[in-house]
A and B are shown apart, each in its own frame.
Chain A
Amino acid sequence: MEVSGFSGLMTATVFVPAAGAVTILLLVRGDRNIRLFAVAVALADLVLSLVVFGLFDQSEGADRFQMVDKFSWIPAESLKANFFLGVDGLSAPLVALTGLLGFCAILASMHIKLRVKEYFVWLLVLQTAVMGVFSTLDLLLFFMFWELELVPMYMLISIWGSGRKEYSAMKFLIFTILGSAFMLVAIVAVFLTPELGTFDMTQLSTKGTILVSAGVLIPLSGLFWLFFAAFAIKLPTWPVHTWLPDAHTDAPTAASVMLAGVLLKMGGYGLLRINVGMFPSQTDRFAWALVALGVISVLYGAVVTMRQTDLKRLIAFSSVSHMGLVLIGIGSVGISEGELTVTGLNGAAMQLFTHGTITGLLFLGVGLVYDKAHTRYIPDLGGLAGRMPIVAGAILLAGLASLGLPGLSGFVSELLVFLGAFRAYDWPTALAVIGIVLAAGYILWMMERAFFGPRRERFDHVTDASLVEAIPLAVMVVTIVGIGLYPSLLTDVFEIGLAPMLDVLPGGR
């Protein structure tokens, strides 16, 4: 079945930031105007992304892929690549997440003084790239958006970063490109396989096609692991996580927010969309390996987090731990009944969204601390809660969400992952549950050292968040509490996207 149509909504959502970037480059003059214009563009894109999420038809019998924009892009018979955008239940929430975080990241960049024009151009291009990854349905286009995202992030870290910024930017670039190389091989192999011969992801994920193993250029398991390598680096999982703490620590606030909030989610999205969606039988077969890697990441990440003395590095390592939960959730497909499996998968998808908002808020808060107290080194901090109650409160709330406090978003995804995975792998999952104690340890210890304790004179000049600075914090807080109280807003949508993936498995599971 061919999916087709063109409504322009997805095209607009993806390319409005890029168009804004071009406009800034060519037409807008003056730092103040550039800032305001960038905010306006981000706000427009936020509205568009929420419209996409809101218009997504959840009724039974609705199309799986909606708001499709499709036209022939490279018509040559040998390629037949399409410009093909559209969302399903899996990508619609992630598009909304990107709009949300993109807006917050721009708003958190108002204090940037260095090369303002370039900065906002790169940030907006980044948003187009990520939006593109989440909404494209053509593998070739997917790969191009995936690569496009590298350039702005490299620039943002290496120019506006701090510390060993060139080293970190380069490390980020090399790791991701290495993963991309694996992915490119896999994409080419998929295309050259006679039974498949297409870049159309909707067809590739349709029942049966890819399960035919005859004549595959590379064995299916090989394709699975090639894609996995690319996404595992991006996620990241142990042991290919070391680019993350460096990149995070040295990136400017907005880049950290985007990096942790949406860029890592590209890895998880890829795993769900391509590894689970196109190779369900292989995912089933190697589920134990995913769970093993996930459990190691959860515990290893949490343990290393304990040791960190830089606020940003601490949050970065906690991301390694939390992204391990995504792998565990995906690994829950290693049992038979589809009805039950979808719980863990849904948890993995939820974890992408909730971690995006939680870590986004953490980095926004820490960015403010760094701006005002001029240090992120935890032993130098202390007693800040009295000076900046709003920022400290926001970080505490995000921290509590991160350690899985019920009523906040993190709890829902953790619970679903654990529920789903415990059925399949009880002991490994029980080990991962210990992660909730470790998380409580590093989050509360961080709070104690950096924000509680006696007032320090050297921070007497420190002010709390201003109104403009408080807006992104408030947006994130509302999202975290809202999803925590009313999770079915997202889980219902995710389920629509994920359930068909499992139907493909033999035995109708």
Chain B
Amino acid sequence: MIWFRLAFKNLIRRKTRSILTVLGVAIAIAVLYSLFQFQQGYQSQLKGELGALGAHVMVVPKGCPYEAATIALHGGKWPRYMDEGLLKDVKADPGVAEAAGVIMDAVFAPGNKNVILLGIDEDYMKLRPAWRINGHWFDSDSSVIMGPTAAQEAGVKVGDIWNVPEKNVRLQVVGVLNRTNTQDDGFVFVPRKTLQRMSGLDGKLVLILVKARHVERTDDLVASLRASEVDMNVFPLSELLGTITSLMASTRVFVSAIILIAVILGGVGVLNTVLMAVFERTKEIGMMKAMGGSRGDIFKLVWAETILTAVIGGLTGVLVALVSSRLVEALIRGMIPYAPKGSLIGFAFPTLAMCIVLSLVLGLVAGFYPAFRAASIRPVEAIKAE
């Protein structure tokens, strides 16, 4: 500990330089923490979102499956529809336990807020056993159930009349969902026929969610559904998760290269700063040796300085990453085609530990040469200066 105390005092002698060096490491570690945590958060949130769908297989119109997945998960307007008749065929498959047809639309509420409308029926409820409705299920074509966030944003409660923006239709709020902490919280649920009529999409569906009778035989179900119809895309959600995850994983090499460069630059910064400090303190180091400091003592002292610099930089980096997580998330979201909702960069002890260990390794590696140089200084230098 004494070496670290001495090392810390040495660092504060050159405040500006030390702060800049710590910042160099902090930026590298902040990038590392943010990107790593983003990838972890992305995967777990995506898994959560897909799980919240309550289905094992998704049937969507022909087209880009990722676009379809985005619509299925986050809702929206998608100009591709399937015939409602397909729902009957899907339900008829012996491998299907439940199947719910969904139609979707999106309107803009005052204040330019996007309101996602989902047209559903009782089948959808079967995929949502965890739903608790404050109020009751649809009792007429003009009733509406709202997710808690959607109700809050629309400023309505159970019993109120809600004017559907852009549609000139009045619906009565018969229920508000208890918070589910899923994408459902932000949706507005309308009887399917009502939304089809409102949107001029009678007899059309955007999505069929399918729950398999035997989860372990999902692949057989998918094969069976694919064989039966040609106008729809059938894919298991596990495959979707795998595909999106592997898409993200393919960027990992690139991201890792950036992180590696940032970390190396941080390390070079530490090495440079400590080496400069060693050169400046040649006489002082010589004096320490004159007082009986061994090569090992001097090595430890200088090494402790680099380790401290790197670890303080690492901790600062994690702090910076956490403080700036919203901004970084927004930036990354803007660059990738699909990202789950919810917070992706959060505090995670394993990631923190990884960053600290990496900082430590960085300090150990970057500090080795300056420490070796310092330990090799001949004590006679001290008196020579006289």
Pairing of A with B: no
Q: Which residues of B contact A (CB under 8 A)?
A: none
Q: Which residues of A contact B (CB under 8 A)?
A: none
